[in-house]
Structure 1
Amino acid sequence: MRKLLLVGLLVLFTITVLSVEIVFWYPLSGTKGQVLKEIVERFDKAHPDIKVKLVYTGKYRETAQKVMSALVTKSLPNGGIIPAGPIFTGAYGNYKILEYMLYDPDFDISDFYDVAWDYAKYKGRICAIPYNISTPVLIYNKKLMEEAGLDPNRPPETWEELLEYAKKITKDLNGDGEPDVWGLNIKDTPWLFKAMLFQNDCEIIDADTMTPLFDGPKGVEAAAFWKKLIDEKAMPVGMHNLADKQFISGTLGFYMGSSSRIGKWCGKLPFEVGVAFLPKKVKRAIPIGGAVLVMFPHSKEEDDAMWKLIKWLVSPENLGEFCIKTGYIPIRESVLEVPEVKKFMEENPDYRVAFEQMKYGKAYWHFEQMGTMDYLLYEYLDKIERGILTPEEAMKEAAEKLKKEIENE
């Protein structure tokens, strides 16, 4: 008996000695965070030699700030789900994750969609793996459409129809001169404005010269349409942070925002919800968004363990589960062959919209001033809405400030 006990203690000691702990940062809260935890807990059970320490780092902005601080203090985690990940990896010469991808015969790079890889590159070279990816979609209140005399099963297809339908839905119910029900509101205005730029065949920045392009005629035209939505009472001024609350309360006809809302709203609100592609202008086009999986090099043992976790997270089965439960998009083809995913897509057609829209997806390589660009677009779209600057003046000033920021790098 003593011999068996000694053997058992020796095995336990050996496992303890050989176990590796890795730290994984993530910016997902609520249901999304819980789904991630469940998938990682299964990884822990399947890999008793690896212990994953999950650390919630706040929303995207807070997470990015923590990564920047950790770069300075050399206190980076082993990896994580990081917004704008290429700026914190490729920009610092960190392509460790690419090394693992290229030398792992079980990892199929070609199974991922090309546009998703574009989102994980720094200056054309992969330095991250796409993970919680979403596209902006049009989510609409069928009841309000019907009340406005519109066909609730025919959402707007073009910018012109969007304006027309939104104006019909906007209503002043109490006669105070201000609408109580709005036709349209847009969440995450820089992201959706970039969608409009793409739809009007306008690129955002020249990757070779790092010159902003949204101040050209096509960019100004997109900004002018934004102003038209305001002037013709289709969309409220400066109320974009209230878009979610407006839609949930049934006082908003059309919501333009992340496809991750599909899982939160469809079938769960007291009115029927529809989901459609973003309305087009010259063409259909959408910017993909979200965050990516990254590795920060440590010891070989820790890097190997981190790679095993990343492979686990993006396996077709686990990625399929993650997407079904969160509303994010499957970014590899094999996910759609997972039986549970196939069945889910058949039973929940609204979820298919965001994925099908991926064929119109566009991404531009990450660059260090992306955050500055988004802040400038947010600031100058607000100035357009309030009539402080014309669309042409606003786009010109925003582009000049961004160019100056890039040149002073």
Structure 2
Amino acid sequence: MRKGILGLLSFLLVLGVLAGCSGEKSNADSKDGKVVIDFWTFWGSETRRPIIEKIVKDFNDSQDKIEVKHTFLPWGDIWTKNLASVAAGSPADVIVNDINSVAQRAENNQAEDLSKYLDDSFKENFYPHLWEMVLHDNKPYAVPFNTDTRLLFYNKEAFKEAGLDPEKPPQTWAELEEYAKKLDVKNGDKFERFGFYPLWGSTGAPAWMASADDGKGFIEDGELFINTPKKLDALNWLLDWQKHYGEKNVQAFKAEFGSEQANPFISGKVAMYIDVGTFYTQIRDYGKDMEFGVAKIPAYDENSKHWADGGGFVVEVPKGSKHPKEAVEFIKYLTGKDAQQYWGEKNYDNIANIEGAEAVAKSLDGQAKEVYELTVENLKVTNLYPVPLEYPDYQNRINPHIDKVFAGKMSPEEALERAEADVKKLKK
């Protein structure tokens, strides 16, 4: 009898615990009759956190069915914790994630298919090259939020010194070389100013190689374009720049780079420089009324486009979200014209919503407007390179070989041959 009573008490105790857990979950998932959704970002800086939290507040105040809770997680940690929470079955409802790897997460069942919540016309709100990045098997698994593109920034005062027209930046690689040599300032064997160095700034060898090859990345639709004649030509061209300046001079200059004030372009050490459009804010804040211009990145030759590469972030619903429908309602607001315009204006950032981006450009004036308008126009020739499902680790198979070229340990021909052979081994 005593055992029966104890058993009954134990059973009731378990029921109580479960009821308590259920109550806690219910309270976590609802507030004043509203569905509560958890929104994870890595925007915790003094600049960006107030902006995203203002957007969240505006959404919460705009309706009475959903309450968004913003959770900040540090860069890097956010994605590790996302994967862990998805595996545990307790993910966030909305998360900011990398645009280049959407298909990877969709394939690995780590993100929700959003097609059931979005109508066919929704994609018209976004730049086509960004919308393509969120598709897997022709279904959207995320929505584009922001992006970037690269421009050529050039020092107009240095142009005047060198006898160059400050209103006519170089248009081709050949002109870029010609201008750079005129802009070089040398004292004996040392350079006091570089006219241009293609591997400094927000760019790298893969971007130049793609530009030479009609915008094609290393892998397009599952086909390899690593060891191609144009990419070999580009790699040799890049190596020629290092030979022109000398590896010691390149490394000595690079060692001086540091804070915004020590940026080689802002400090006058480099006359032409490639960076994302938001680099304008560093010049504005630290350039002391620097006279500069912006242009599209010079084309491979007269018959080529002014290609640029870009990146960006998306908002998506992690697999297993308890409230995917409500999460998508918030995503629609977050990527709508008004929220996007607010983010773009306050952060001087390129946004994914076309109408919002055009509104930001109209709201600006002076050189801020000039630079932003060019970034918007440049998005038409900006390529993003998604991580291929067949070759997920391809960059780590290519980059070490390219690095060896500049270290003098491998010829460009051998580097591309070995890189392509190594990538082929990755195919599933």
Tell me the TM-score range normalised by the shorter chain.
0.7 to 0.9
* Matching of residue 80 in structure 1 with residue 80 in structure 2: no
In the aligned structure 2, how far is the partner of 1:123 from the partner of 1:401?
27
Q: Distance in 2 between matches of 1:171 and 1:371?
A: 43
In the TM superposition, what are the counterparts of 1:143-222 in structure 2 within 5 Å? 143-172=157-186, 175=188, 177-185=189-197, 186-190=200-204, 193-201=206-214, 203-208=216-221, 210-222=222-234
Which residue does the alignment assign to 1:231? 243
Displacement of 1:51: 3.5
Name the structure 2 match of 1:388: 409
After alignment, is 352-361 or 195-204 more displaced?
195-204
Is the 1:197–1:219 contact (alpha carbons within 8 Å) kept by the matching residues of 2?
A: yes
Residue of structure 2 aligned with 1:22, choices 37, 45, 63: 37
Q: Which residue of 1 aligns with 2:60?
A: 44
Q: 1:23 aligns to what SS in structure 2? A: strand
What SS class does the counterpart of residue 418 from structure 2 fall into?
helix
The letter for the 2-side match of 1:283 is K
**Structure 2 residues without counterparts, runs of 5 or longer:** 1-29
Task: Give the whole-Å Cα distance in 2 for the aligned partners of 1:237 and 1:62.
Answer: 34
Q: Find out whether 1:280 has 2:295 as its counterpart.
A: no
Q: Residue type of the partner of 1:16?
A: K
Instruction: Describe the shift of the 1:202–1:343 C-alpha distance in structure 2 as closer, same or farther (beyond 3 A).
Output: closer
Question: CA deviation digits over 1:318-365, x for unaligned, max 9?
Answer: 112212232332433322564x64232677111111110122133344
Q: Percent of aligned pairs with the same residue?
A: 23
Deviation at 1:368, TM superposition (A): 4.6
When residues 237 and 66 of structure 1 are mapped into structure 2, their CA distance, relative to the original with a 3 A threshold, is farther
Aligned 8 A contact 2:91 2:320 in 1: no
Q: Alignment length, in residue pairs?
A: 385
SS at match of 2:364: helix
Other-structure match for 2:318: 296
Q: Post-superposition shift, 1:250?
A: 2.7
Check 1:212–1:309 CA distance in 2 against 1; reply closer, same or farther (3 A cut): same
- Counterpart secondary structure, 2:56: helix
On the 8 A contact 1:131/1:331 being kept in 2, the answer is yes
Q: 3-state SS of the aligned residue for 2:190?
A: coil
1:58 aligns with 2:74: yes
2:353 partner amino acid: R
Judge conservation of contact 1:285–1:362 (CA < 8 Å) in 2.
yes
Q: Residues 141, 228 of structure 1: CA spacing in aligned structure 2 closer, same or farther, 3 A cutoff?
A: same
What's the counterpart of residue 253 of structure 1? Answer: 271
Check conservation: 2:126, 2:354, Cα contact below 8 A. yes
CA distances 1:285-337 after superposition (whole Å, capped 9, x unpaired): 2233111111114455x223321221111111211221223233243332256
Work out whether residues 203 and 214 of structure 1, in 8 Å CA contact, stay in contact via their aligned partners in 2. Answer: no
Superposed displacement of residue 123, structure 1: 5.3
The structural deviation recorded for 1:70 is: 4.0
Distance 1:323 1:96, change over 3 A: same
Unaligned runs of 5+ in 1: 1-14
The within-5 A match list for 1:98-177 is 98-102=115-119, 108-122=122-136, 124-172=138-186, 175=188, 177=189
CA distance in 1, matches of 2:159, 2:399: 29
Matched to 2:159, the amino acid is M
Whole-Å separation in 1 of the counterparts to 2:179 and 2:43: 35
Counterpart of 1:259, as a letter, is G
Give the stretch that moved more between structures: 366-375 or 164-173: 366-375
Of 336, 358, 363, the residue aligned with 1:343 is 363
Counterpart in the other structure of 2:327: 306
CA distance in 2, matches of 1:189, 1:377: 16
Q: Given that residues 123 and 366 in structure 1 are in contact (C-alpha distance below 8 angstroms), is that contact kept between their aligned partners in structure 2?
A: no
How far apart, in 1, do the equivalents of 2:385 and 2:196 lie? 27
Task: Answer whether contact 2:86 2:320 (CA < 8 A) is retained.
Answer: no
Aligned residues of 1:132 and 1:290 also touching (Cα < 8 A): yes
Q: Work out whether residues 329 and 355 of structure 1, in 8 Å CA contact, stay in contact via their aligned partners in 2.
A: yes
Distance 1:79 1:88, change over 3 A: farther
How far the C-alpha of 1:274 sits from its partner, in A, is 1.9
**Alpha-carbon distance between aligned partners in 1 of 2:178 and 2:269, rounded to the nearest angstrom:** 17
Q: Which whole-Å CA distance do the structure 1 matches of 2:267 and 2:89 have between them?
A: 46
CA positional deviation for 1:227: 1.0
- How far apart, CA to CA, are the structure 2 residues paired with 1:92 and 1:390? 38
Residue 189 of structure 1 contacts residue 240 of structure 1 at CA under 8 Å; is this kept in 2? Answer: no
Distance in 2 separating the partners of 1:89 and 1:221:
35
Alpha-carbon separation, structure 1, partners of 2:79 and 2:255: 23
8 Å contact from structure 1 (residues 120, 129) kept in 2? yes
Q: Is the 8 A contact 2:208 2:234 kept in 1?
A: no
- RMSD of the alignment, in Å? 3.3
TM-score of the superposition, structure 1-length normalised? 0.81
Q: One-letter code of the match for 1:40? A: V
Q: Which amino acid counterpart does residue 201 of structure 1 have in structure 2?
A: D
CA distance in 2, matches of 1:318, 1:213: 39
Paired amino acid for 1:309: F
C-alpha distance 267-149 of structure 1, shift in aligned 2 (>3 A):
farther
C-alpha contact 1:284 1:360 (8 A) present in aligned 2: yes
What does the per-residue CA deviation read over 1:148-199, in whole Å, with 9 as the maximum and x for residues that have no partner? 33222222111112222223333345x5x33342223423444x63354134
